[in-house]
Amino acid sequence: MIICNTTYHVECSISGEFIDWMKQEFLPRAIEKGLVSNPRLMRLMGHNEGGACFALQLQAFSLKLLQQWNQEVGKALHQAIIDRFGDKVAGFTTFMEEIPLKC
């Protein structure tokens, strides 16, 4: 499983609006083509330096599918964040491969 993890730093004054927009606009558009699934939005604890921090994770079955999603959907959603929130939201994305653990 490949995971796309984007960490966002959001100004406190818009954190509620950001969460609502992610739920109502971003996430439905992110998963509508079926290239990624299982969205998870988490608040990072202990990172309150002038704002709130959130991590969004999306799963894909392969790096190829995730790269396709990034080209076809992800770039447009990134621009939508900029258009909606401007410099009140900043983020960075990493692609990660899940390593199964057997304990």
Answer yes or no: are the C-beta atoms of 84 and 10 closer than 8 Å. no
pLDDT, one tens digit for every residue, the chain (103 residues)? 999 999 999 999 999 999 999 999 999 999 999 999 999 999 998 866 789 999 999 999 999 999 999 999 999 999 999 999 999 999 999 999 989 898 7
- pTM for the full model? 0.88
> How far is residue 67's CA from residue 44's CA, in Å, rounded to a whole number?
26
> How far is residue 64's CA from residue 15's CA, in Å, rounded to a whole number?
32
> What pLDDT is stored for residue 13 in this prediction?
93
Chain Cα centroid distance, residue 66? 13
